[in-house]
Structure 1
């Protein structure tokens, strides 16, 4: 079956113009292989995001501000479907294009204790936080999506391309934009993935290989936190400038588990913490360090947590402790 025929069937389905014959043909194509099903799901997801992001991205209504990604019926006008043709067609053929083209994937990593600035082929700028890695194609012209794979944390200033969405893929989420600035935090050893928006509009969707994939749309100064274990997320408002404030050396902890906070400090200053003798590892920390050096931060932690701290080379030993939640 020709690709144009498949595309026409998808257009009819999205625009509520489907006939019995086109429905049967598309269903048969989807059922023919798992790859077809995945390509169709990707087309649906990117269609939803690409169509809604340029327009109003109304704040979603949440039940108690916590919910799970669930599928949702699409109502898309035929005119909107035609406008998004290139986007969806690219999504449908994404895998085939990568297989057919001799694409070179480029990786950049920021080592512990360092930050790294990277400029992508479309002039998008990326600031990588310590211990982070991005991977991307050396030429975005091969596809109608600009796919970036991220492990760790990065702040993106995306060059606007109306017909080529910018997609940041982490281990569980895809963040899709056309042109904006935002922060994504997705360290492998952390149970939470966070997306915070500085400017523009951002769509976040669970990986389409998961059972539920309803997109969530974020506006400036909004944050989304996704728990990789439960599959649940919550959103809240952040203060202006919060997204990516780590670039200025600012470390903010809001009821953060102590061990997670120490992990962040560890990456920032390229040190290791030994907490074998620390008694209250389940406690949480609320603190903000404005571009302070390691010695100053350790002095604050020593007083707040009532611990003994001893540093030998790049290993910091913490002993004792009081069950304080915050300084």
Structure 2
């Protein structure tokens, strides 16, 4: 009995790599000369298996795989193979299994490998505007001929990245641990929670941010550098010229930042050329101006929920009749001509 206990102790030490040459000789001699060695080996292996960490895989699939390994071992055995070789094979199997279980355990402790997050993109056509809810419950009103992209979900504690080309009004849900960043070309608008409008049509070469509530940071990016242009608070607007990098800050002219979302278009001392570009998008029409000088006419105008026919009528009145126009039958093209407004 004591002899068997000693063999068990040696076997355990052998699996742990702690036996010396003399102890190996005793162990192998016993296994080579005892008719019950095969069964004892199986019992010892079973005990070693049960003593493995609880985190090992005991699923039916794993047990089946282990059984297949034992079967392969049994099929490979030849009568001339010494029983100590079987022991070495068995010991190696346990150590391999142990290594696999340790690896699997470490994998479970490791954070999951980052999965690629799908990016969602929404594009609007001329004359179209849409209201959207982002994954963090922030609200976006996307203007005509605009494109916005965002990940299908935002990760808590990480930056909420959005890209915008065109115009949009944002009502960002506050989250101090997850800054909200809108990228528009080389410009970045950073917020935590606020409401503001971004105008970023590349072809217009003008980038603007108008803040209705909260605080917004505007950053200019260039190769290897980032420059904070301004920190805007409620009632402030930045106008940035993308072709030369010049910018100015306006104060007190942003109360109408989101007016376009309600079909109300407000222009403050704006030239006709710039107004027509915006009206084209809003109303899905094309303007053809016969006299280039007309584009220099400047207006303070507000058009509240009216059709393009009424817009043109009001422009003609405000120009004191200098602007003349003709609307095509299908209302997709408007031709303007006339004298300068001076």
Q: 1:163 to 1:136 in 2, by over 3 A?
A: same
Deviations 1:213-269 (A, max 9, x none): 134111111111111122011112125632211112121222323211001111111
Name which one, 1 or 2, has greater alpha-carbon Rg: 2
Q: 209-218 vs 245-254, which deviates more?
A: 209-218
Equivalent residues in 2 for 1:60-209, closer than 5 Å: 101-141=115-155, 144-209=158-223
TM-score (norm 2): 0.62
1:233 corresponds to 2:251: no
Deviations 1:167-191 (A, max 9, x none): 0111131000011111101112212
The structural deviation recorded for 1:279 is 4.0
CA contact (8 A) 1:149 1:168 kept: yes
Matching residue within 269, 284, 287 for 2:283: 269
Structure 1 or 2: larger helix share? 2
Structure 2 partner of 1:296: 310
CA contact (8 A) 2:256 2:266 kept: no
Q: What is the number of residues matched between the two proteins? A: 226
- Runs of 4 or more consecutive aligned structure 1 residues displaced over 4 Å after TM superposition: none
Q: Structure 2: where are the runs of 5+ without partners?
A: 1-112
CA distance in 2: counterparts of 1:150 and 1:275, whole angstroms:
30
CA distance in 2: counterparts of 1:215 and 1:256, whole angstroms:
24
Structure 2 partner of 1:321: 339
The structural deviation recorded for 1:278 is 5.1
Q: Structure 1: where are the runs of 5+ without partners?
A: 1-98
CA contact (8 A) 2:121 2:148 kept: yes
Deviations 1:81-106 (A, max 9, x none): xxxxxxxxxxxxxxxxxx96312111
CA distance in 2: counterparts of 1:166 and 1:311, whole angstroms:
43
TM-score (norm 1): 0.65
CA distance in 1: counterparts of 2:129 and 2:182, whole angstroms:
19
Q: 1:216 to 1:240 in 2, by over 3 A?
A: closer
Query: Relative CO higher for 1 or 2, CA cutoff 8 Å, sep ≥ 6?
Result: 1
